[in-house]
Structures are given as structure tokens and as C-alpha cells.
Structure 1
Amino acid sequence: MNDQEPASTADPTLVLLTVEEAARRLQIGRTLCYRLIRTGDLEAVPIGRLRRVPAEAVTEFAAKLRRAYRPAA
């Protein structure tokens, strides 16, 4: 997979994403993505020495942001 590949062409069948893939889907930097994982804001699972982000965790994180910044009715 090309590191410069746009998020819109990412493989939707992937269950676990690399941190870089998750960052691209969120359109944020890799360092910020690691910080979100470290603080527990973005779910990640260890596989050996690797970190993988469940694909649905990216969607859940975006939904959580939307709820947090939704104007009060």
C-alpha cells in the first residue's frame, strides 16, 4: 500500500489498521494518532510488538467527536 494513497481509496475490508492507516483515515498525523492511542481516546490492540487499530474504532472515535461538539438543543 502506498503511503501517499488517499484515505478514500483505503481497503474497506480491513479489520485491523496500522496506526498510519488509521491516521490517514482520520486525516491526522501519525504522532497525534499515537497520542490518541496512548491517552485511550482511540482504541488499539497489541499484536506482539505491533499496534493495530480496529477499523470500527476509527468510526467510533469520529462519532464520539461529533457527539462532544454537537451544539446543545
Structure 2
Amino acid sequence: MPNPITNRVLGFVSKLSFPRLFMVTAALFALDTLIPDIIPFADEILLGLGTLLLANIRKRKDPNIVDAPPR
């Protein structure tokens, strides 16, 4: 059974853009590293945030390069 706290947090951060998502993940990781177990379910949230970060990493095309139309 999924945790309702984790589902709400991951639902909110899944809408963030990559730089903001990275900052939230880095801040939560630093806080969890400095003060272990102060935030309930921080480890599960960090795993979800890491998954979202990896899903959001994409190679961006150079806007100056235009694909040739197929023949």
C-alpha cells in the first residue's frame, strides 16, 4: 500500500522543472545527511525524487540545427 505522504510529495514535485527539482532533491539530501531521520519517509521521497530527476534528463537539440525533411 503506497504511503499517502510520499504520494502527495512526489505528485507535487513531479510538476517542477528540472533545475527546481534538482534543488529540492539536493536540499532534502543535504538535510537528511546532516540530521538523519528528522523528516519522516525522507529516504523514500529521495528515491522518488532521484527517479524523477533521471526521467527529466534529456538531451536538448541545438535550435540552430534543422532536421531535413524526409524524401
- Length-normalised TM-score, structure 1: 0.28
- Length-normalised TM-score, structure 2: 0.29
Return the index of the structure with the highest Cα Rg. Answer: 2
Q: Which has the higher helix share?
A: 2
**Bigger RCO of structures 1 and 2 (CA < 8 A, at least 6 apart):** 2
Q: Which has the higher strand share?
A: 1
